[in-house]
Amino acid sequence: MAITPIKNLKEFSTANDRFEGAHLLCPGCAHSMIVRELMNCSDDNLVIATNTGCLEVSTAVYPYTAWDTSWIHIGFENAATAAAGAEAMYKARKRKGTLKDPDAPVKFVAFGGDGSTYDIGFQWLSGAVERGHDFTYICLDNEVYANTGGQRSSSTPIGSSTTTSPAGRVSYGEKKMKKDMVSIMAANGAPYVAQLAPNKWKIMAKGFQKALATEGPCFINTVSSCTTEWKFDPKDTVHITDLATDSLVFPLYEIIDGYELNILYRPKNILPVKDYLGAQGRFKHLFKPENKHVLDEWQKRVDASWERLQRREEARI
């Protein structure tokens, strides 16, 4: 597939809109921004699979739908399986000559939240990548099981207060560090993986286009700020996402063929991690004197991660 250059925001925002606005996602939810960017960056026919989660329950309230494309809803853990199955059927029908328009370009995409991606759907995603299905998997990473009550997932960062890792007198919240799914999927054999953010719309659109143009299974992790569980004002979604990328808590980069790492965004002014954490209610307890060590640990780990990414980019390993 030839990659169409992204010229300007006005042109992009008015292009081939296939995700309708009449959905029930929370005001300020970044999911819709990410989905719309994916669907606007390609004119190909799209077959999209979503598992149960915020995106599915809010965009397909029977008998209505926000999806102006082929769309499959499947169980919590199986978005990758549905997309892989559709892709396999398409290839079989193409070989048999039973497609009405065999030359029309078709791309297969799966959306999943971090709970279904990092946790309960991981084996299905890993299997689809190992088998080499030609599809793109996009994780809408809001770092919590937002659709089922705000429980922690293995994407939940240290210190975050959730319903299953609450902060209080005896705990500062989540004790474990966030799983590195991007590196895992690169090691799993995905020819293109990336970490992207909707506030950097042009970088995200180009990353989506690269994934759709790459033959084989591709994985993209996207930060999706959650006004409900992260506890910020809905109008501040892009501001929070700016803080995530500019503090390097959520660095933007790609890995090609498992080893070639390219950093996609370098902030001119790197912000301290505490600026990002302090803008969200889920981390407010970390600013108590007794939890200062958690803030220090956050900054130390983010600094080390950024240094590691830069070394990998220079060494191409």
Residue 201: its H or E element: helix 201-213
**What's the pLDDT tens digit per position in 261-279?**
999 999 999 999 999 999 9
Using DSSP's 3-state secondary structure scheme, residue 141 falls into strand
Q: Are 291 and 285 in contact (CB under 8 A)?
A: yes
Q: Indicate the pTM of the whole model.
A: 0.95
Place 7 in a pLDDT band, splitting at 50, 70 and 90.
Answer: low
pLDDT at 128 over 80: yes
**What's the pLDDT tens digit per position in 67-126?**
999 999 999 899 999 999 999 999 999 999 999 998 989 999 999 999 999 999 999 999
**What's the pLDDT tens digit per position in 174-185?**
999 999 999 999
CA distance 129 to 175: 30
Q: Which of 301, 293, 213, 315 is nearest to 251 (CA)?
A: 301
- For tokens 């309230």, the residue is 61
HSE, side-chain direction, 13 A CA sphere, residue 192: 21
Domain parsing of the chain, residue ranges: 9-315
Q: What is the pLDDT of residue 21?
A: 81
3-state helix, strand, coil split of the chain in percent (to 5) is 45, 15, 40
Q: What is the pLDDT of residue 1?
A: 45
Give the CATH number of domain 9-315.
3.40.50.970
Torsion of CA 297, 167, 177, 117, to 10 degrees: -150
Torsion of CA 210, 317, 301, 154, to 10 degrees: 60
**What's the pLDDT tens digit per position in 205-226?**
999 999 999 999 999 999 999 9
Q: What is the pLDDT of residue 6?
A: 67
| Mean local confidence (pLDDT), 233-245 | 98
CA distance 265 to 183: 18
pLDDT at 2 over 80: no
Q: Residue 119 has what DSSP assignment?
A: I
Measured CA angle at 195 (ends 192, 200), to 5 deg: 120
Q: Are 61 and 24 in contact (CB under 8 A)?
A: yes
Place 5 in a pLDDT band, splitting at 50, 70 and 90.
Answer: low
Task: Give the contacts of 232 (CB within 8 A, at least 6 positions apart).
Answer: 28, 225, 240, 279, 280, 281
Residues listed for the chain: 317
Q: What is the pLDDT of residue 186?
A: 97
- Return the bridge partners of 140, or none: 113, 222
